[in-house]
Structure 1
Amino acid sequence: MENNTVEQKYNKWIVLLSIAIPVVVAVLFKVKLRDFGFDVAPLTFLPPIYAAINGITAILLVSAVIAIKNGNRKRHELLMKMAIGCSVAFLAMYVAYHMTAESVKYGGEGILKYVYFFILITHIFLSVAIIPLVLITYVRALASKFDKHRKIAKITFPIWLYVAVTGVIVYLMISPYYVS
């Protein structure tokens, strides 16, 4: 009964965060601090940092799966907490960048343009979908419902890995169009 209580306790937070995070990010994406009288320099140094954090997240996720397959639950737990921390850090930097700098437009042509937009669109949609999946997966581990945790982790892992890897790819594809 106690484990159901843990899940029930967090269900409202999962719903709230799964809705609030994408909405707040979308709103803040359009907010420019200079429009409110803040004299802040554009944080143009952030994109390569948050792209690297996406890469680190991907490495952490793969390492966490290897750890649990080798029976090392403590290492798995630590790596997953680090992956969540990296995702939160990415999100904070991403929003900070977009609140201080104009969005960069992709300048490629031909088939690469379509590849870029396919990757970008799937990355954006899946980055929204991954929020509740990560939270549910994490809460099931907290509740020691490891059978349910494993079941949803098999869905969460490849989507989260895709989001992390495509975050790096999107940055690499758009990086030539950043103005220094």
Structure 2
Amino acid sequence: MDPVFSIALTNALINSASAVLLVRARQAIKRREVSVHARLMIIVTLLQAVFLVLYLIKTGLYGTTPFVGDPTLRAVYLTVLGLHSLAATVNVPLVIVTLILGLKRKDVLHRRWARWSYPIWLFVSVTGPITFVLLYAFGRPGYGIG
């Protein structure tokens, strides 16, 4: 199997799992299950660290993967990818601060930061797999996942 595809697929699965765990973590805190929420958020953070390492390896070794499909779909792909990348970049410091505040049990500040970091993180975790599907189903002839 193509290593670029394998890493991209792994990262799409990591993002998908992260989206599910983020929602579960939010449900846990709404039920006041603080320890469940904390464990889930640590798992999501570790998953995202693995994602980042794999992404940097893939990009460092192989560069970017061009979209070579239909120009209209390419525009959709680039729009989703651009929004995903911007949101991910903006959210990194938000997540770090939110995580630190949560670990220090500064709950009021943690909640304030999470009001911003959670929806952005969820958006990133959902749009990551969408960009993968757009790229490999429509922008890379021969992969046949579409």
TM-score (norm 2): 0.88
**Residue 84 (str. 1) matches residue 45 (str. 2):** yes
Cα-to-partner distance string for 1:25-81 (whole Å, 9 max, x where unaligned)? xxxxxxxxxxxxxxxxx7332110111001011111001000100110000000000
* Secondary structure of 2:75 counterpart: helix
Which structure's CA Rg is the greater one?
1
**Residue 114 (str. 1) matches residue 75 (str. 2):** yes
Cα-to-partner distance string for 1:129-176 (whole Å, 9 max, x where unaligned)? 111100111111122210111111011101001111111000011114
Q: In structure 1, what is the Cα distance between the partners aligned to 2:42 and 2:141?
A: 32
Match for 2:108 among 143, 147, 150?
147
Residue equivalent to 1:130: 91
For the Cα contact (< 8 Å) 1:106–1:174, is it kept in 2?
yes
Cα-to-partner distance string for 1:66-114 (whole Å, 9 max, x where unaligned)? 0100110000000000010011000111111122224221123254222
Q: Counterpart amino acid of 1:156? A: S
Unaligned runs of 5+ in 2: none
For the Cα contact (< 8 Å) 2:69–2:141, is it kept in 1?
no
**Residue 104 (str. 1) matches residue 84 (str. 2):** no
Residue equivalent to 2:9: 48
Q: Counterpart amino acid of 1:50? A: N
Q: In structure 2, what is the Cα distance between the partners aligned to 1:142 and 1:79?
A: 13
For the Cα contact (< 8 Å) 1:43–1:100, is it kept in 2?
no
Match for 2:29 among 61, 68, 72?
68
Query: Shift in Å at residue 117 of structure 1?
Result: 1.1
Q: Counterpart amino acid of 2:42? A: K
**Percent of aligned pairs with the same residue?**
29
For the Cα contact (< 8 Å) 1:43–1:101, is it kept in 2?
no
For the Cα contact (< 8 Å) 2:19–2:126, is it kept in 1?
yes
Q: In structure 1, what is the Cα distance between the partners aligned to 2:118 and 2:10?
A: 23
Unaligned runs of 5+ in 1: 1-41
* Secondary structure of 1:150 counterpart: helix
Q: In structure 1, what is the Cα distance between the partners aligned to 2:119 and 2:110?
A: 15
